[in-house]
Amino acid sequence: MVLSIKTAVSRNAKILALFAVVCTAIVGIVHSLTKDQIVFQQQQDLLRNLNSIIVEDSYNNIIYKDCLILPSAALGTVDSQKVYRARNNVQSIAAAITTVAPDGYNGNIELLIAINIDGSVSGVRTLKHQETPGLGDKIEVRKSDWIESFNTQRLASKNDSRWLVKKDGGMFDQFTGATITPRAVVKAVRKTVIYFNQHKDKIFESDSNCENYDSVKEAL
Amino acid sequence: MKINAEYKELAWQGLWKNNPGIVQLLGLCPLLAVTSTLTNAIGLGLATLFVLICSNATVSAIRNWVPKEIRIPIFVLIIASFVTCVQLLMNAYTFGLYQSLGIFLPLIVTNCAIIGRAEAYASKNPIKQATFDGLMMGLGFLLILMLLGAVREILGQGTLFDGANLLLGNWASILRIEVFHLDSQFLLAILPPGAFIVMGLFIALKNAIDDRVAAAKPKADNKEISRVRVNFDEK
């Protein structure tokens, strides 16, 4: 039987549409089955990061839900950033702020910086980067303890000259063969600490708004 | 007996003679990008293996209902669905590994080994054989990924199974072996150029072995092999 072109085309279109529907349905089902688990994993990951820089026993709120969106202008980043606030009942303990160091050797370095209410750094973690393996990637905590050198440091004044890498006259080590990466990280942490010191009351007083923001973002 | 011989031939083709990694040279992008550690290599290899088996079985199952004019878009649809499912599952259950494989998971869709097998073999053969072919091709690919990953990890960091806990859970941290201690990493092995060099050595080694075997039994009849390399044969 020879099909006319018209019937052949419409038959093929129907078959293709059928496959598209079936495949989409399968992906949809898997998505709905794994959705909650994925959100859970992301929260656990965030919580692990937060607890590695803020002492877990020092606060008692659900920290990843106590979250505030910072407009991009606040830290001078391209995207808006988030602040997670640790509280013990009504007492403010510390805030963990995400930020981006735009001037890494290989593009953006995403950081999470926890600062105690007294202005001292509680801890810093690198969330994402593309620095050279073996050189710049010592900013990862599993490669080197360099990132721990921020712990307990304070910024004495806005122009505290110790907050630079040693090569620039400051107190933070650079890496052999890689100065640009630590310089970018120090700069971003310093900026964040300055912002925190100036705005800490507002940071802790504002209502949580991350959830709405996420759902708005998803709806878009 | 004839069927056994067919399976044997499929295994031989997938694992050695027509290995997707070092003979067909398909899927070079994930092959070279992800193999900086053994763990990553195993993760991507298993994901590819799974997709390859599923896509081969499905393509074979529907081969009589798919008009040949629209077979390619349908194969792509099937492969893309499986890859998306794998990606979602890995995101849900092996989160750490998902983070370190990152953008290379969706790239399985573009791994020509998969659509190549769907087109060249699965679309013309019964389900059992097609599934077996997927398994063997996938294993061949996994094997090359693991070898590359192991060599590069030893040369680059002096370890094996670094980060195995990302793939297998926390108990796997004990699998980590420090072969020798390096104060600074051997960068060339970790960066993509190192992957090309190691890969080249593997191909050379395979060719050398083949030559050695051929020289050892020169009388073996040189029969024509109908299935050679990537066969997008015409119909």
Instruction: Give chain B positions within 8 Å (CB) of A19.
Output: 74, 77-78
- Do A106 and A19 share a domain, yes or no? no
- Do A133 and A85 share a domain, yes or no? yes
- Do A63 and A33 share a domain, yes or no? no
User: Is residue B156 predicted with pLDDT exceeding 90?
Assistant: no
Instruction: Check residue A142 and give its pLDDT.
Output: 80
Instruction: Check residue A217 and give its pLDDT.
Output: 47
Q: Where are the domains of chain B?
A: 2-216
Instruction: Say yes or no for a CB contact (<8 Å) between A16 and B69.
Output: no
- Shortest distance between the Cα of B182 and any Cα of chain A, in A, equals 11
User: Is residue A145 predicted with pLDDT exceeding 50?
Assistant: yes
Instruction: Check residue B22 and give its pLDDT.
Output: 79
Instruction: Give chain A positions within 8 Å (CB) of B88.
Output: 27, 30-31, 34, 38
**Range name among A101-110, A153-162, B46-55 with the lowest pLDDT average:** A153-162
**Which of B80, B92, B186 has the CB atom closest to A34's CB atom?**
B92
Interface of A with B (CB under 8 A): 8, 11-12, 15-16, 19-20, 23-24, 26-27, 30-31, 34, 37-38, 41-42, 44-45, 132-135, 176
- Do A125 and A17 share a domain, yes or no? no
Residue matched to tokens 């606060």: A59
State chain A's maximal CA–CA distance in angstroms.
Answer: 88
User: Is residue A30 predicted with pLDDT exceeding 90?
Assistant: yes
Q: Where are the beta strands (DSSP E) in chain A?
A: 67-70, 81-88, 91-104, 107-116, 121-128
> Which contiguous run of DSSP H or E holds residue A144?
none
- Do A77 and A39 share a domain, yes or no? no
CB count in 10 Å sphere of residue A71: 10
B185 vs A: CB within 8 A: yes
Q: Which residues contact B76 (CB under 8 A, 6 or more apart)?
A: B109, B115
Instruction: Say yes or no for a CB contact (<8 Å) between A16 and B93.
Output: no
ipTM: 0.71
pLDDT confidence band for A102 (50 / 70 / 90): very high
- Do A75 and A114 share a domain, yes or no? yes
- Of the two residues B55 and A177, the one the predictor is more confident about is B55
Best probe of the B interface among A3, A9, A10, A15, by most B CBs < 10 A, is A15
Instruction: Check residue A2 and give its pLDDT.
Output: 59
CA-CA distances (angstroms) from residue A161 to A99, A171, A197, B105? 22, 9, 17, 45
User: Is residue A111 predicted with pLDDT exceeding 90?
Assistant: yes
Most confident of A114-123, B147-156, B161-170: A114-123
Q: Look at residues A11, A38, A53 and tell me which one is the last residue of a structural domain.
A: A53
pLDDT confidence band for A3 (50 / 70 / 90): low
> How many structural domains are present in chain A?
2
Best probe of the A interface among B40, B70, B76, B155, by most A CBs < 10 A, is B70
Q: Is the pTM of this model over 0.90?
A: no
Instruction: Check residue B60 and give its pLDDT.
Output: 92
- Of the two residues A74 and B85, the one the predictor is more confident about is B85
- Of the two residues B180 and A71, the one the predictor is more confident about is A71
**Domain span holding position A173:** 58-219
Which among A76, A70, A39, A32 is positioned nearest to A190, based on CA atoms?
A: A76
- Do A128 and A20 share a domain, yes or no? no
Residue matched to tokens 């004839």: B2
pLDDT confidence band for A31 (50 / 70 / 90): very high
- Do A120 and A194 share a domain, yes or no? yes
- Do A19 and A127 share a domain, yes or no? no
A-B CB pairs within 8 A amount to 65
User: Is residue B169 predicted with pLDDT exceeding 70?
Assistant: no
pLDDT confidence band for A151 (50 / 70 / 90): very high
pLDDT confidence band for A187 (50 / 70 / 90): very high
**Range name among A178-187, A208-217, B85-94 with the lowest pLDDT average:** A208-217
- Do A139 and A169 share a domain, yes or no? yes
Classify strands A81-88 and A107-116 as parallel, antiparallel or unpaired. Answer: unpaired
Instruction: Say yes or no for a CB contact (<8 Å) between B70 and A27.
Output: no
Structure tokens at B168: 């297998």
Q: Report the C-alpha gap between A78 and A81 in whole angstroms.
A: 9
Instruction: Say yes or no for a CB contact (<8 Å) between B191 and A23.
Output: no
Q: How far apart are the first and last CA of chain B?
A: 30
- Do A108 and A40 share a domain, yes or no? no
Q: What is the mean pLDDT of chain A?
A: 87
Q: What is the mean pLDDT of chain B?
A: 81
Mean pLDDT for B183-196 is 77
Q: Report the C-alpha gap between A21 and B85 in whole angstroms.
A: 15
- Do A19 and A101 share a domain, yes or no? no
Instruction: Check residue B182 and give its pLDDT.
Output: 67
Which among B194, B209, B155 is positioned nearest to B19, based on CA atoms?
A: B209
pLDDT confidence band for B120 (50 / 70 / 90): confident
Most confident of B143-147, B155-159, B163-167: B143-147
